[in-house]
Chains A and B, each alone.
Chain A
Amino acid sequence: MNDDGTLDDAGLREVARRLGVRAADRVDVERTAQAVVARLREERHAPRSREAWLWTSPVWLKIAAALVIVAGAGVVARAVRHAPSGLAAPVETVDLGDLSVAELRELLQSVEQPGAAEPVSWLDVGLEDLSPAELRTLLASLEPET
């Protein structure tokens, strides 16, 4: 310490050397050593958590990614295979002259019952193309059910 009360280099070093000594003396060295060893032992023997293992294992991440890709590809392939093609079935043309009388009668019967199989939708035809019977069927299909 200088005469004016300020610290010289040596005084500063001396105070620095004393700094923390009393606090450090209060630390129980043996207890600290045992506590550190116990924690280290715990860490060494504790199995890594399942979650941490899963997220940090590159092998499992790769396998999971591969499964997702395979499953996705399967779904897409299945959807493509079952999708309607959008193409109309080829129309088979028939020469009426080749048909027998019985076949012609059967054909006429099937043509005379247009609404029997399925109701007529206004989307399928123009109203002007419909017969009175077909119009009645269409109106009936549009009426709300009670």
Chain B
Amino acid sequence: MTPAEPVAAVPSPTDAALIAAWQGGDEQAAAELVRRHTRALARFLAGTGAPEADLDDVVQETFIRAFRAVATFRGQCRFRTWLLTIGGNVLKDAHRRAKRARVVPLADELRSTDGDPHERAVAAEAEGRLGEVLQGLPRLQREVFLLRAQQGLEYDEIAAALGTTPGAARVHYHHAVKRLKECLK
């Protein structure tokens, strides 16, 4: 009896390889990039104030803009980080349009249907308060805070994506934390 040969794990292609494949006309490469980054992008957009009803549209629009401009992506940061900054721009444009036709989004806790109701309410309250206070921060502080605290990125990566220095990114993060703590007391 021969020992079973270990199955060689096929390494998943890198983002750079998928981008190159998409540029060569491979649609499935684009689809794989979308699958890979949709959740993180949606979380970031929800954190930066995208109404849940519009989240699908904003996510799609972000990917479309990213693929249109992918030739300008020079690998200065990770593809995901670059994507999140594009998402921030898409959301800013959407907010500008929404000011003309303002709708009141339904609160998260009213829509949620899973989990323990009490825990869900407490978590929703904390997230809701944080989300509200985040909307009051300057855009750069808000995005740096989310890229750091929500997405877990390093300052170097954040700085490269936002076109600033790691030191400045650190300062923006600490200003954001200070303001959030003051407002969430």
Known: A15-B130, A16-B130. A29 touches B43 (CB 8 A): no
Known: A36-B60, A37-B31, A40-B30. A20 touches B38 (CB 8 A): no
- Contact between chains at A36 and B31 (CB < 8 Å): yes
Known: A36-B30, A39-B60, A39-B64. A23 touches B108 (CB 8 A): yes
What is the bound-complex CA distance between A111 and B143, given in angstroms?
102
Known: A22-B108, A26-B52. A37 touches B46 (CB 8 A): no
- Contact between chains at B184 and A37 (CB < 8 Å): no
Q: Which of A34-88 contact B (CB under 8 A)?
A: 34-37, 39-41, 43
* Size category, B interface: 35 or more
Q: Which of B129-164 contact A (CB under 8 A)?
A: 130-131, 145-146, 149-150, 152
Find chain B residues with CB under 8 A from A24 CB.
38-40, 42-43, 46, 55
- Contact between chains at A23 and B130 (CB < 8 Å): no
Residue of A nearest to B150 (CB): A16
**Residue A9 CB within 8 A of the other chain:** yes
Q: Could you list some 22 contacts between A and B, CB below 8 A? A: A5-B185, A7-B180, A7-B181, A12-B180, A12-B181, A16-B130, A17-B150, A19-B130, A19-B131, A20-B127, A23-B43, A24-B39, A24-B40, A26-B55, A27-B38, A27-B56, A29-B34, A32-B59, A36-B67, A37-B31, A37-B34, A43-B68
Residues in A lying within 8 Å of B, measured CB to CB: 5-7, 9, 12-13, 15-30, 32-37, 39-41, 43
